[in-house]
């Protein structure tokens, strides 16, 4: 399931207080999704990493009550307070990486909403998450009894949703543009210690200097985050991207696309699109019209994806765009 569908399903399950399990590869945004839901639904989030715990950690510490002559338990601070009146989202991360005994203890939590004498507050919803076996993560197979206590959804990577998120989070426009060209590298198990995932591309974005010019340093950063294979492709594409003369193109000095690689065309269109997104289209309408005529339909769409609706409408009103205005408006409406 794609991100929006998983989010809708989880929100419904949280509302009905039905436990859910999110399956997905490492670094694709499971934890971020839970944080988003908690924030949007104004819920207090308790994030518990079960793979780090022992069975005894879940129940807490025993202490003798001398007055009654019985042993009571001090509850760990990672559980929601028993008397809480907040709307709570309890996130049991890495459940299927936890030891079998921890998984067994979680069974009572999911079935009876309690652990020993501890009971979850009434307004608590539970969501768990974990990697799949094919992700080469160290997972422990969950029992059928535990699986049957939850609704299961599988989160898939999706380039369009990731790009919308990446723009909100100010991810490097070079990385966004490259992944529009090579969307299959958003998430890929390459066999290297570092491999491309939404999380590692985000890490690379944070490490890249804002005005990077040293290709060797850029490659070193990208290799460290997403691995040699993906970094090699990124650097080859980036060489095209950084050498695009945007101002010359917007003065009507168009590049020759004949016999050029697809990566070159993506780099040129992406560089123009990003510049117009930042600076607007006013004064460039005639040059843009001429440039668009050079492009195939898919590259026209790529360029327009960089522009907000008001900029596209501004373009369409210009006399030089008369021939293709209807096509551009279809992109806006569609």
Number of helices (H), then strands (E), in the chain: 16, 9
- Whether the CB-CB separation of 177 and 241 falls below 8 Å is answered with yes
16-35: average pLDDT: 92
268-291: average pLDDT: 91
- Which comes out higher in pLDDT, residue 262 or 62? 262
294-304: average pLDDT: 86
51-71: average pLDDT: 83
- Whether the CB-CB separation of 197 and 27 falls below 8 Å is answered with yes
Query: What gap in Å lies between CA 80 and CA 213, rounded to an integer?
Result: 49
Q: Is 334 a residue whose pLDDT tops 70?
A: no
Q: Is 217 a residue whose pLDDT tops 70?
A: yes
In the chain, what are the domains?
3-154 (3.40.50.300), 159-333 (no CATH)
Q: Is 153 a residue whose pLDDT tops 70?
A: yes
Q: What is the chain's mean pLDDT, rounded?
A: 88
pLDDT digits (tens, 9 = 90+) for 226-242: 999 999 999 999 999 98
Query: What gap in Å lies between CA 136 and CA 187, rounded to an integer?
Result: 14
Please report the pLDDT score of residue 293 as a whole number.
Answer: 87
Please report the pLDDT score of residue 332 as a whole number.
Answer: 56
pLDDT digits (tens, 9 = 90+) for 200-212: 999 999 998 876 6
- Whether the CB-CB separation of 107 and 58 falls below 8 Å is answered with no
Query: What gap in Å lies between CA 59 and CA 166, rounded to an integer?
Result: 40
Please tell me the chain's helix, strand, coil percentages from 3-state DSSP, rounded to the nearest 5: 55, 10, 35
Query: What gap in Å lies between CA 35 and CA 281, rounded to an integer?
Result: 37
Percent of the chain surpassing pLDDT 90 = 48
Q: Which of 180, 167, 227, 263 is nearest to 27 (CA)?
A: 227
Among the residues of the chain, which ranges form H helices? 3-16, 30-40, 55-59, 100-112, 144-147, 159-168, 173-181, 198-207, 215-226, 228-242, 246-249, 262-279, 285-294, 297-305, 309-316, 325-333
Please report the pLDDT score of residue 93 as a whole number.
Answer: 92
Q: Is 46 a residue whose pLDDT tops 90?
A: yes
Residues 6+ apart with CB under 8 A from 193: 227
Confidence of residue 18 (pLDDT cuts 50, 70, 90): very high
Please report the pLDDT score of residue 20 as a whole number.
Answer: 94
Please report the pLDDT score of residue 49 as a whole number.
Answer: 92
Q: In the structure encoding, which two tokens stand for residue 156, read together?
A: 């898939």
């Amino acid at each position: 399931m794609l991100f929006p569908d998983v989010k809708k399903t989880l929100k419904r399950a949280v509302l009905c207080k039905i436990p859910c399990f999110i399956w997905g590869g490492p670094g694709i945004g499971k934890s971020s999704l839970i944080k988003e839901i908690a924030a949007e639904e104004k819920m207090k989030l308790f994030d518990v990493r079960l793979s780090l715990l022992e069975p005894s950690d879940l129940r807490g510490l025993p202490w003798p009550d001398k007055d009654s002559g019985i042993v009571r338990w001090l509850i760990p601070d990672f559980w929601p307070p028993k008397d809480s009146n907040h709307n709570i989202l309890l996130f049991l991360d890495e459940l299927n990486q936890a030891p079998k005994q921890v998984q067994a203890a979680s069974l009572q939590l999911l079935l009876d909403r309690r652990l020993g004498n501890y009971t979850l507050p009434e307004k608590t919803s539970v969501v768990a998450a974990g990697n799949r076996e094919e992700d080469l993560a160290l997972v422990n197979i969950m029992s059928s009894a535990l699986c049957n206590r939850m609704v299961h959804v599988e989160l898939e990577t999706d380039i369009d949703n990731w790009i919308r998120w990446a723009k909100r989070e100010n991810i490097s426009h070079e990385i966004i543009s490259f992944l529009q060209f090579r969307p299959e590298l958003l998430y890929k198990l390459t066999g290297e210690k570092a491999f491309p995932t939404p999380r590692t591309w985000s890490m690379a974005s944070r490490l890249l200097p804002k005005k990077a010019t040293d290709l060797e340093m850029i490659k070193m950063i990208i290799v460290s985050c997403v691995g040699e294979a993906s970094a090699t492709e990124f650097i080859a594409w980036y060489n095209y991207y950084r050498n695009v003369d945007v101002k010359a193109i917007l003065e009507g000095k168009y590049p020759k696309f004949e016999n050029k690689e697809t990566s070159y065309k993506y780099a040129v269109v992406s560089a123009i699109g990003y510049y117009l997104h930042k600076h607007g289209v006013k004064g460039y309408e005639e040059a843009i019209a001429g440039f668009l005529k050079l492009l195939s339909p898919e590259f026209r769409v790529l360029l327009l994806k960089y522009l907000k609706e008001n900029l596209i409408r501004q373009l369409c009103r210009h006399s030089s765009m008369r021939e293709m205005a209807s096509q551009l408006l279809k992109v806006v409406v569609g």
